[in-house]
Structure 1
Amino acid sequence: MASAPPQGKSGGAAAQAPLAQSEMYRNYNFVLRLDATEVRFTECLGLGVRIEPIRYRESGAGSIVRALPGPVDYAEAVLRYGLTATPDLWTWLQETVDGTVRRRNVTISQLDNDGTTARINWNLYGAWPCQWSGVPFDALGREVAIEELHLAFDRLDRS
């Protein structure tokens, strides 16, 4: 009968223990910083980057397809937030509609489980509003009125 490998070993390397629940960040603890202003959103979607592969066949090796990194494409960040009387985001959008694109650096911060300490920052450089969706009004509804703002940006990094 074969013996089991020593505990904590996998193929000669030490296996990592799974993260404890207290070590994982909660997806509802985040804040957006726009210049010196903090804005709380109910949801942030779409942070992403894709490096388009350029596929080619080498001469003399027609059956092998290789790939090179191509253009970098950043997804739009989609921000959903409760409708308030504060006009800051609407004013920024309206400037773009009027033809004055004011690019701003935006930081989305993942907060620690205490809800106050920023642990991970995603920095969106040269961001500008490219789409807005209004509140879906419903005379029989009882939910919070939620607006949606899409941000295009030039570069993304994590700190």
Structure 2
Amino acid sequence: MPQTGQLVDPFRSFNFLVELDGIAQAGFTECSGLESTTEVTEFRQGGENTHVRKLPGKTTFSDITLKWGMTGSMELWDWRQQIVTGQVVLKNGSVVVFDLANRTEVARWNFFRAWPTKYTATTCGST
């Protein structure tokens, strides 16, 4: 329980920050899908029947999933609504990870020409 006069920062545990076009939009506690996979293409070189050569093939990227977010902005919701109405707006952005004190950037993943495929707002309940 915070003491009287102590500042309570509700964004402190939201260590994954999402930036769109360089502007911070929301903080999230969970992020997944920051991965890429490159297929392996195997081939045999003429006259060399005992060895298989391997070359990098097509690279694919996973969808980024962000969960348990908090924001004071409607930017992500408005972007999703543009997609729903058929206005495909592609944006560049970053997922930035901060240390536990939420002060120092420790990692950054940039994405390019992205669009939101799903948005789930929080469920509201009564106490």
TM-score, normalising length from structure 1? 0.59
SS in 2 for 1:63: coil
Q: Secondary structure at the match of 1:76?
A: coil
Task: Tell me by how many angstroms 1:82 deviates.
Answer: 4.2
For the residue of structure 1 that corresponds to 2:86, the secondary structure is coil
- Deviation at 1:77? 0.5
Q: Identify which of structures 1 and 2 has the higher relative contact order when contacts are C-alpha pairs closer than 8 Å and 6+ apart.
A: 2
- Count of residues paired in the alignment: 114
Are 1:123 and 2:96 counterparts?
A: no
Flag structure 2 segments of 5+ consecutive residues without an equivalent: 1-13
Percent identity reads 32
The aligned counterpart of 1:92 is 79
Displacement of 1:138 in angstroms is 9.9
Partner of 1:37: 24
Structure showing greater radius of gyration is 1
Structure 2 length-normalised TM: 0.71
Q: List per-residue Cα deviations over 1:41-79 (Å, max 9, x = no partner).
A: 121101011111111122222332211111121111111
Alignment RMSD? 2.9
1:77 aligns with 2:64: yes
SS at match of 1:121: strand
Alpha-carbon distance in structure 1 between the residues aligned to 2:92 and 2:25: 13
Residues 96-154 of structure 1 deviation map (CA, whole Å, 9 limit, x = unaligned) = 1222111111111121343112132111111111234565x698xx9xxxxxxxxxxxx
Aligned to 2:118, the other structure's residue is in SS state strand
In structure 1, stretches of 5+ residues that fail to align are 1-27, 143-159
Moved over 4 A (4+): 82-86
Q: What's the secondary structure of 2:102's corresponding residue?
A: coil
